[in-house]
Structure 1
Amino acid sequence: MNASIISGKEFTERLNAITDARLADHRFGVSALAREMEMSRFTLHRKVREIFHESASQYISHKRLNLARQILLDRKTSVTKTATLCGFRSLTYFDKCFHDYFGYPPGETGKPSLDKKETTSKRKFKHLKKWFKFLK
C-alpha cells in the first residue's frame, strides 16, 4: 500500500484500528506499527506528526494512557491489572507516565472532586513538615 495515496481519514482509521487491537501487547511499538501499516518508520512518523502533532511513539503511549484512564474510571480493575492490560510491563513506569500525562497518579482516577493542584502541592511539602517538627 502506498502511504502517499492514502487520505488522512483513511490513514487515521487504519492507524486507530491497528493500534487499538495491539495496545495490550507490551512489545508493540513503532516498528510493529509501521510493518502493519505497510510503510517505513520514517513515513509513518512523518504522517503521524503531520496529523497528530506528536511522534508515533507518543501516539502509542497516549493511546495506552487514555485506555488506562477509561479502565480505571470504570473501577472494575486494579491499577496493576490496568497497567498490564494497557501494555505496560512495569508498574512504576506506568505510574510515572500516567502522572506525567494526566497530572495525578492512577490511584486517584475517579475520586470525587479532588482538587489536583492542592493534592499535589500538599504532597510536595509533606516531607518539609518533618523538618519543621525537628527544628522546633
Structure 2
Amino acid sequence: MNRNVLALLCVSVLAAACSKPGNVDINSGGPRTVQTQSRSEPIFYNGKHYALNYTYNDAMKAFDVKVSGTTAAMKPDSQKDAINIASSSLGYFACPEGQRGRLVGSPKFNGGVWALQARCG
C-alpha cells in the first residue's frame, strides 16, 4: 500500500508541475553589460572598515575608484588591500557575472586615500 501511495503522490506532483505554464526565462549568454552608475559603499575587508567610491569614466572606459579607511586611515603600504578591495567590489557591484575589476595603470596614494582605475574583465 505504501508503494501505491508514493507512486500516486509522484504522479500528482508531476501532473501539477506540467499543468501550469512556466515562468522561466532562459537567456543563453545573458546580458553582459557593465553597471556604470556611480556608487559609494561601505566595505568590510580583513577585519577593517573601508569606504569605496567609484564613478565611470566614459572617456577612459574605466572606473575611477577611491578607497579610504573609515576606522583608520589607509597608509602608503596598504596598496595591495586597496587593489583587492577595488577589484572584488567592482566585480560584485558593477561587472557582469563572473568578471572582476582589473587594474588599469598604477594606483596613487594621497592623504589616506588610494585612487586607481579599473575595468571589468
- What TM-score results when the alignment is normalised by the length of structure 2? 0.26
- What TM-score results when the alignment is normalised by the length of structure 1? 0.23
More helix per residue: 1
More strand per residue: 2
